[in-house]
Amino acid sequence: CLTPDLLHLHNIDNTIVIVTDIFRATSCMVTGFAYGVKAIIPVETVEECQALQAKGFIAAAERNAQKVDGFELDNSPFSYMDEKLIGEKIAMTTTNGTYSISKAKSSAVKVLVGAFLNLNAIVEYLKTQPYDVLVLCAGWKGRTNLEDTLFAGALVDAVQNEYFVAEDSAIMSMRLYQQAKDDMLGYLANSSHIRRLQRLGINKDISYCLQRDLYDVVPVLRGNELVNM
């Protein structure tokens, strides 16, 4: 599903949904768990995040790729490589990533968080599961993003022999990934969120988030909290 606004077209009752927002929400969550964060509470709105902050949670809020005033953390994976966050629970809202998690959580069998950083860990986990799989690409405010589509394609490419690939969007994603895989950064040049991040001077996050299999981490939603399985 290439945008959360089309998720209603899919029946996900028997399905594991893997939410991906490569730049940067899910790459940031995966990095947080790899560096020892205990749980992330993803919420849709800034107000919900503020309410959790008022209850004592460390809180992260991003809108339009920038930190929202009054919150401790932004959405950069580098902000989560911090020993002060080890063992902590973090409330988080982001423009598209946590919105997508909220969309999926009421009907999916499980909601996982995927990024290139933990792609192989997700693939290995799926091999143990009997369910259908849907990759939910967070995109940008209802529009499709190329980097999330490439992640979906990489996942389809990795599991295509074990599954019936039911959707043309999955076939399209896989073919795009196969074209892009040897130089993803070059393939993504001029893509919309890279341009947005570059305008804001957020450069090092881009190549960081395109690295594959750095972390053996599988974030899964348990109730309202993401934890590392």
Give me the residues paired with residue 66 across strands: 63
Instruction: Pick the piece of the chain touching ligand MLT (CB under 6 A) from 19-27, 128-136, 156-164, 169-177.
Output: 19-27
User: How many residues sit in the footprint of ligand MLT (CB under 6 A)?
Assistant: 12
Contact status: 10 vs ligand MLT (CB under 6 A): no
Q: Which is nearer to ligand MLT, 140 or 177 (CB)?
A: 140
Site residues (CB under 6 A) for ligand MLT, limited to 84-103: 94-97
Q: Which of 65, 126, 210, 217 contacts ligand MLT by CB under 6 A?
A: 65
Contact status: 21 vs ligand MLT (CB under 6 A): yes
Q: Residue 132 Cβ, how far from ligand MLT at the closest point, in Å?
A: 25
CA distance 138 to 124: 22
Q: Which is nearer to ligand MLT, 8 or 195 (CB)?
A: 195
DSSP codes, the chain: --SGGGGGGS--TTEEEEEE-TTTHHHHHHHHHHTT--EEEE-SSHHHHHHHHHTT-EEEEEETTEEPTT-SB-S-GGGG--GGGTT-EEEEE-SSHHHHHHHHHTT-SEEEEE-GGGHHHHHHHHTT--SEEEEEE--BTTB--HHHHHHHHHHHHHHTTTS----HHHHHHHHHHHHHGGGHHHHTTT-HHHHHHHHTT--HHHHHHT--S-----EEEETTEEEE-
Whether the Cβ atoms of residue 4 and residue 138 lie closer than 8 Å to each other: yes
Q: Residue 171 Cβ, how far from ligand MLT at the closest point, in Å?
A: 26
Q: Which of 75, 145, 149, 173 contacts ligand MLT by CB under 6 A?
A: 75
Q: Residue 138 Cβ, how far from ligand MLT at the closest point, in Å?
A: 6
Site residues (CB under 6 A) for ligand MLT, limited to 135-174: 138
Q: Which is nearer to ligand MLT, 104 or 174 (CB)?
A: 104
Q: Residue 62 Cβ, how far from ligand MLT at the closest point, in Å?
A: 4
Q: Which is nearer to ligand MLT, 27 or 132 (CB)?
A: 27
The residues that touch ligand MLT, with contacts defined as CB under 6 A, are 21, 23-25, 62, 65, 75, 94-97, 138
